[in-house]
Amino acid sequence: MSSAEFLVQGFIKAFELIFSLNPYIVSITGVSVRVSGTATLLATLTAIPLAFAISFIHFRGKQALITLVNTGMGLPPVFVGLFVFLMIVPVGPFGFLNIVYTKEAMILAQYILITPIITGISLAAIKAVPKLIIETVYTLGGTEKDAAVATLKEARFGIITAVLAGFGRALAEVGAILIVGGNIAHTGSVGGIGEGLSETRTLTTAITSETSKGEISTSIALGIILISLVLSVNIMANYFQRRD
* Number of residues lying near another protein (CB under 8 A): 16
Q: To the nearest whole angstrom, how small is the minimum distance from the Cβ of residue 31 to another protein? A: 38
Site string for another protein, 80-119 (x = CB under 8 A): ----------------------------------------
Residue among 60 and 131 whose Cβ is closer to another protein: 131
Site membership for another protein, residue 140 (CB under 8 A): yes
For the four alpha carbons of 219, 220, 225 and 229, in that order, the dihedral sign comes to positive
- CA-CA distance, 187 to 175, in Å (whole number)? 23
Write the single-letter amino acid at 122.
S
Site string for another protein, 144-163 (x = CB under 8 A): --x---x--xx---------
- CA-CA distance, 33 to 243, in Å (whole number)? 26
Q: Considering only 70-78, 127-135, 186-194, 229-237, which stretch makes contact with another protein by CB under 8 A?
A: 127-135
Site membership for another protein, residue 130 (CB under 8 A): yes
- 3-class DSSP assignment, residue 109: helix
Residue among 122 and 204 whose Cβ is closer to another protein: 122
**Of these, 141, 187, 188, 242, which contacts another protein (CB under 8 A)?**
141
Site membership for another protein, residue 132 (CB under 8 A): yes
What is the per-residue burial (b if ≥16 Cβ within 10 Å, else e) of 192-218?
A: ebbbbbbbbbbbbbbbebbeeeebbbb
What distance lies between CA 202 and its chain's CA centroid? 12
Residue among 48 and 155 whose Cβ is closer to another protein: 155
Q: How many other CB atoms are there within 10 angstroms of residue 146's CB atom?
A: 14
Query: Phi/psi of residue 10, each to 5°?
Result: -60, -45
State the residues that interact with another protein by CB under 8 A.
130, 132-133, 135-143, 146, 150, 153-154
